[in-house]
């Protein structure tokens, strides 16, 4: 029989738990109210499911949109479409796993009365809390390295794209200029404050994708067009790795979730964002490959083949702005890590945090100037870093977190409605680990490194204008 004392203790415990939960989300609720009252906050403080959707969709495709037709020329039309759908679904699944692990970690910490006020939870902290310091080190190393090179790639791509409009300045000079522009992202405190930028970024990507589709169809097929892909295994797996990289944009999933007022609602947002991204990537890649065929094997950037006119120049400019936004998305988790290292993460001073973040931007800027060849780096990063960061580590972490019956019984998030069995989840996770390790890391790593080595002779450290048109000799 339950005594009166036990009943009172249960009521007190329930009330305490409810109070703790209210405290955890009080700050988010206050921001939500503020966002309804202030026109300024309407553009600055985002945390709804719509903000998260825009962030995921905007961040998922940037410069890679322009290289997907190149991947199709390596893979062939059918394989290109199949790999896009396959890796899109695979990426959505591992993003779902990351969201589940985040909720599990946060729920456990809430029970310990841990407050996250002025603290942004990151992926390596989730791994640390659930699996221990060794997993923290692995997650931190892979995530930071991936985001570092992702930021470098965006900066190089900015210089490469603007060169199609204005070639009076060399690419290295453009890198100096855009490095200074991208450094202004240090003033954006967190993903709460990317509301308007995410919205605009997705609009810019949408315009560029449909411009590519329509321009290719209007242009028609070039004379003697051929579609011979796939022809070599190296090219095939290089193209597949680029698509693996395309749908591996959720290295920032935890930070986007933490910026939500109700992060439990994130579950299927990444998948819904991927469905929209399919409407951009598949038609544009198919149309451009249909029009130019094997010419794309030597033109990795679709802008280099599309006719120059006002519409193309507008697409270039919009992609430049979007790459600036993507640079901020990739750098922000690095900013958080650095702030935590030097002990300024919990300060509310935007200027102090911005000043503290500058040491993160400077080496990225410097690396972009030293190694201005993002094409080969892109596929290498996809095979060696994205395969682990985005696919293998989340699947392994989920299996290990719920390996015990008690963990599964007390799980904050139960298996999804479309796979309501823990056994089914384990089978799917094992498939993800094996497939990505063998095909993505194994064959993809071999192909990307073979391609990298093949192009070593064309590389030039501190190259003034990598892969630019040769300067015509002076007339006598």
> Among the ranges 124-138, 159-173, 320-334, which has the highest mean pLDDT value?
124-138
Question: How far apart, in whole angstroms, are the C-alpha atoms of residue 87 and residue 435?
Answer: 11
Token pair for residue 161? 């794209």
Residue 280 tokens read as 């951009």
The 8-class DSSP code of residue 132 comes to -
What Cα–Cα distance (Å) separates residue 300 from each residue in 1, 240, 276, 294, 324? 74, 14, 24, 11, 21
State yes or no: pLDDT of 238 exceeds 50. yes
Section 340-367 average pLDDT = 91
State yes or no: pLDDT of 24 exceeds 70.
no
Whether the predicted pLDDT of 20 surpasses 80: no
Residue 213 has pLDDT above 70, yes or no: yes
- Given a cut of 90, is residue 5 above it in pLDDT? no
The two three-digit tokens of residue 461, written as one number: 């450290």
- pLDDT bin (cut points 50, 70, 90) of residue 166 is confident
Cα 225 to its chain centre, rounded Å, is 34
Contact present, 283 and 213 (Cβ < 8 Å): yes
Q: Is the pLDDT of residue 240 over 60?
A: yes
pTM of structure: 0.86
Higher-confidence residue of 298 and 318: namely 318
Please report, for residues 90, 209, 273, 301, 320, the alpha-carbon distance to residue 286 in angstroms, rounded to integers and kept in the order given.
21, 11, 20, 14, 23
Per-residue buried b or exposed e for 389-414, using 16+ beta carbons within 10 Å of the residue's own CB: bbbbbbbbbbbebbeeeeeeeebebe
- Is there a cis peptide before residue 108, judged by omega within 30 degrees of 0? no
SS3 399: helix
152-161, 175-184, 229-238, 368-377 — which is least confidently predicted? 368-377
* Whether residue 178 has pLDDT greater than 90: no
- What pLDDT score does 469 carry? 63
- Which is higher by pLDDT, 162 or 428? 428
Give the distance from CA 184 to its chain's centroid. Answer: 20
Provide the pLDDT confidence category of residue 130 given band limits of 50, 70 and 90. Answer: very high
Q: What is the pLDDT of residue 99?
A: 95
CA dihedral 109, 110, 114, 118 (to 10 degrees): 100
Cα–Cα distance, 45 to 42 (Å, whole number): 6
**C-beta separation of 141 from 360 below 8 A:** no
**Which of 11-25, 45-59, 216-230, 320-334 has the highest mean predicted lDDT (pLDDT)?**
216-230
Phi, psi of 46 (to 5 degrees): -115, 145
Tell me the torsion sign for CA atoms 122, 124, 126, 128: negative
Question: Mean pLDDT, the chain, as a whole number?
Answer: 85
* Structure confidence by residue, pLDDT tens digits, 29-47: 444 444 444 556 666 677 8
Q: Long-range contacts of range 279-283, CB-CB < 8 Å, 24 or more positions apart?
A: 280/61, 280/65, 280/205, 280/206, 280/209, 280/210, 281/61, 281/65, 281/68, 281/84, 281/209, 281/246, 282/81, 282/84, 283/209, 283/210, 283/213
What tens digit of pLDDT does each residue of 369-400 get? 887 766 667 677 878 888 999 999 999 999 99
Instruction: Name residue, tokens 């097929």.
Output: 221
Compute φ and ψ for 32, nearest 5 degrees. Answer: -60, -45
Q: Give the alpha-carbon dihedral of 98, 103, 106, 112, to 10 degrees.
A: -130
Tokens of 370: 């030293």
Q: Are 82 and 299 in contact (CB under 8 A)?
A: no
| Residue at token pair 């006719």 | 307
pLDDT given for residue 463 in this prediction: 67
* Residue 226: pLDDT over 90: yes
* Rounded distance between C-alpha atoms, residue 331 and residue 348, angstroms: 19
Residue with tokens 């299996």: 399
Comparing 127 with 13, the larger pLDDT belongs to 127
């Amino acid at each position: 029989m339950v005594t009166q004392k036990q009943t009172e203790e249960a009521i007190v415990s329930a009330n305490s738990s409810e109070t703790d939960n209210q405290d955890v989300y009080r700050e988010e609720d206050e921001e939500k109210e503020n966002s309804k009252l202030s026109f300024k906050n309407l553009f600055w403080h985002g945390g709804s499911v719509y903000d998260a959707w825009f962030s995921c969709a905007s961040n998922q495709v940037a410069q890679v949109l322009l290289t997907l037709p190149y991947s199709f020329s390596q893979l062939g039309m059918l394989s290109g479409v199949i790999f896009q759908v396959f890796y899109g679904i695979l990426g959505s699944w591992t993003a779902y796993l990351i969201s589940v692990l985040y909720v599990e970690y946060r729920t456990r910490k809430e029970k310990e009365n841990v407050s996250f006020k002025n603290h942004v939870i990151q992926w390596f902290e989730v791994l640390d809390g659930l699996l221990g310091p060794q997993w923290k080190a692995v997650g931190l190393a892979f995530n930071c390295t991936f985001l570092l090179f992702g930021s470098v790639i965006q900066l190089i791509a900015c210089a490469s794209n603007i060169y199609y409009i204005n070639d009076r300045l060399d690419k290295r000079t453009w890198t100096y200029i855009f490095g200074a522009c991208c450094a202004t992202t240090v003033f954006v405190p967190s993903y709460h404050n990317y509301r308007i930028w995410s919205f605009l970024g997705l609009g810019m990507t949408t315009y560029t994708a449909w411009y590519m589709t329509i321009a290719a169809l209007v242009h028609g097929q070039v004379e003697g067009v051929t579609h011979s892909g796939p022809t070599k295994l190296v090219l095939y797996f290089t193209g597949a790795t680029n698509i693996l990289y395309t749908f591996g944009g959720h290295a920032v999933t935890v930070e986007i979730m933490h910026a939500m007022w109700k992060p439990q609602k994130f579950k299927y947002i990444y998948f819904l964002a991927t469905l929209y991204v399919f409407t951009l990537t598949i038609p544009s890649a198919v149309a451009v490959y249909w029009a130019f065929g094997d010419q794309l094997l030597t033109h990795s950037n679709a802008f280099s083949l599309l006719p120059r006119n006002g519409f193309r120049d507008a697409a270039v400019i919009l992609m430049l702005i979007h790459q600036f936004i993507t640079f901020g998305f990739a750098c922000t988790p690095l900013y958080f890590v650095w702030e935590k290292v030097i002990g300024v993460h919990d300060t509310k001073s935007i200027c102090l945090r911005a000043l503290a973040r500058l040491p993160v931007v400077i080496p990225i800027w410097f690396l972009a100037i030293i190694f201005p060849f993002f094409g080969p780096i892109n596929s290498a990063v996809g095979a060696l870093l994205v395969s682990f960061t985005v696919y293998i580590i989340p699947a392994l972490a989920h299996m290990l977190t719920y390996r015990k019956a008690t963990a599964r019984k007390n799980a904050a998030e139960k298996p999804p409605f479309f796979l309501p069995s823990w056994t089914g989840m384990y089978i799917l996770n094992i498939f993800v680990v094996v497939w990505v390790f063998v095909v993505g890391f194994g064959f993809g790593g071999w192909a990307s490194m073979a391609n990298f080595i093949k192009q070593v002779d064309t590389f030039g450290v501190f190259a003034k204008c990598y892969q630019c048109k040769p300067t015509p000799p002076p007339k006598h």
